Amino acid sequence: MNRFIMAISASLMATGVAQAEVTEEDLRNDQTITTQVVTNGMGRHLQRYSPLDTLNRDNVQNLMPAWAFSLGGEKQRGQETQPLIYDGIMYITGSYSRLYAIDVMTGEELWQYDARLPEGILPCCDVINRGAAIYRDKIYFGTLDARLVALDLKTGDVVWRDKIGDYKAGYSYTAAPLIVNGLIITGNSGGEFGIVGEVQARDAETGDIVWTRPVIEGHMGTLNGEESTMTGTLNATWPGDMWKTGGGATWLGGSYDADTDTLVFGTGNPAPWNSHLRNAGTPTEGNVGDNLYAASRLGIDPATGEIKWHFQTTPREGWDFDGVNEVVAFTGSDGNKYFGTADRNGFFYVLNREDGSFVAAHPFVSDITWAAGIDENGRPIFNEDNRPGDPTAAADGNKGEIIFAVPSFLGGKNWMPMAYSQHTGLFYVPSNEWGMDIWNEPITYKEGAAYLGAGFTIKPLFEDHIGSLKAIDPMTGEIKWEFQNPAPLWGGVMTTAGGLVFTGTPEGRFIAFDDETGEELWSFQTGSGIVGQPVTWEQDGEQFVSVISGWGGAVPLWGGEVAKQVSFLNQGGTLWTFKLPRQLAGNN
Cβ neighbours of residue 102 closer than 8 Å, sequence gap 6 or more: 69, 89, 90, 91, 92, 108, 109, 110, 575
Cβ neighbours of residue 343 closer than 8 Å, sequence gap 6 or more: 313, 314, 321, 323, 325, 349, 411, 412, 413
- One-letter amino acid at 75 equals K
Cβ neighbours of residue 583 closer than 8 Å, sequence gap 6 or more: none
Dihedral (CA of 460, 464, 470, 475) sign: negative
User: Which 3 state secondary structure label does DSSP give 489?
Assistant: coil
Any alpha helices (H) in 175-252, and if so which ranges? none
Sheet harboring 494-496: ordered strands across?
Answer: 49-50, 494-496, 500-504, 509-514, 520-525
Beta strands in 444-541 (DSSP E): 454-460, 467-472, 479-485, 494-496, 500-504, 509-514, 520-525, 535-539
Cβ neighbours of residue 453 closer than 8 Å, sequence gap 6 or more: 272, 273, 274, 277, 440, 441, 442, 443
How many whole angstroms separate alpha carbon 303 and alpha carbon 263? Answer: 10
**Closest by Cα among 96, 100, 179 to 133:** 179
How many whole angstroms separate alpha carbon 109 and alpha carbon 42? Answer: 23
User: Which 3 state secondary structure label does DSSP give 480?
Assistant: strand
Are 323 and 343 a contacting pair, CB within 8 Å?
yes
Are 575 and 558 a contacting pair, CB within 8 Å?
no
How many whole angstroms separate alpha carbon 461 and alpha carbon 237? Answer: 34
Cα–Cα–Cα angle for 124, 295, 177, rounded to 5 degrees: 60
Pairing of the two strands 494-496 and 49-50: parallel
Q: Give the number of C-alpha atoms closer than 13 A to the C-alpha of residue 232, restricted to the C-beta side.
A: 21
How many whole angstroms separate alpha carbon 514 and alpha carbon 520? Answer: 7
Q: Which residues are catalytic?
A: 320
Sheet harboring 347-352: ordered strands across?
Answer: 328-331, 337-342, 347-352, 358-363
What residues form DSSP beta bridges with 441?
none
Furthest-apart CA atoms within the chain: distance in Å: 81
How many whole angstroms separate alpha carbon 202 and alpha carbon 210? Answer: 5
User: Which 3 state secondary structure label does DSSP give 275?
Assistant: helix
Dihedral (CA of 544, 469, 378, 293) sign: negative
